Amino acid sequence: MTPYEVSDIKSIRKKLGLTQFELAKQSGVSQSLIAKIESNKLDPTYSNVNKIFKTLDSMQKKESFKAKDFIHKGVISCQENDLVRNVIKKMKKFEISQLPVMKGNNVVGVVSETKIIEHLIEDLNRDLKVKDVMGEVPPIVSLNTEESVISTLLRFFSLIIVQDKGKLRGVITRSDILRKVYV
């Protein structure tokens, strides 16, 4: 069971889209008990809190998100032989900081503002190609990859590629997780 604080009950309930009545019914307690706990008017017994937490835990597991819930469809990408100056224009136009780099239909790397700036400081060549500045291929996951795996990957990578049957379906960034889970 996930460790909770009594003060978390209201926010978790709302995140799950439950009313006090629905949580009470699922937990086997009264709606008025939930209301009193959430308004800090009652210090609940261990057994009641345990019932509520078990219900919240099981409902969160049912509600866990998958990669398909986060992806940006219609991925904006570039080809490895594109000129960096054109990619910069594309990033500016779409207000994005990184793009998957393609070779045909395959993802071969990622180009980011950071990588571009690093290379431009070293080499002011205006005809620099994406393949000269791109980073490694980011992690590739399936549409049904669990949120926990995605969150772990995003600690180390700023972009995750989502594929289905070898076809690019979308990308996931840290801001996508924040937007979906916490807003």
Assess whether 150 and 99 both reside in one domain.
yes
Q: Can you spell out the DSSP letters for 36-75?
A: HHHTT-----HHHHHHHHHHHHHHHHHT--BGGGT-BSS-
Residue 83 and residue 47 share a domain: no
CATH assignment of the domain containing 178 = 3.10.580.10
Q: Are residues 72 and 96 in the same domain?
A: yes
Residues 35 and 125 in one domain: no
Regarding whether 58 and 93 lie in a shared domain, the answer is no
- For residue range 61-91, what is the model confidence (pLDDT) as tens digits? 766 778 888 888 788 999 999 999 999 999 9
How many other C-beta atoms can be found within 10 angstroms of the C-beta atom of residue 158?
15
**Residue 74 and residue 51 in one domain:** no
Q: If you average pLDDT over each of 63-72, 154-163, 171-180, which comes out highest?
A: 154-163
pLDDT in tens, 27-59: 999 999 999 999 999 999 999 999 999 998 888
Q: Rounded to two decimals, what is the model's pTM?
A: 0.63
User: Does one domain contain both 157 and 172?
Assistant: yes
Length of the chain: 183
Residues 120 and 171 both lie in one domain: yes
Per the structure, the complete domain to which residue 43 belongs is given by: 6-62
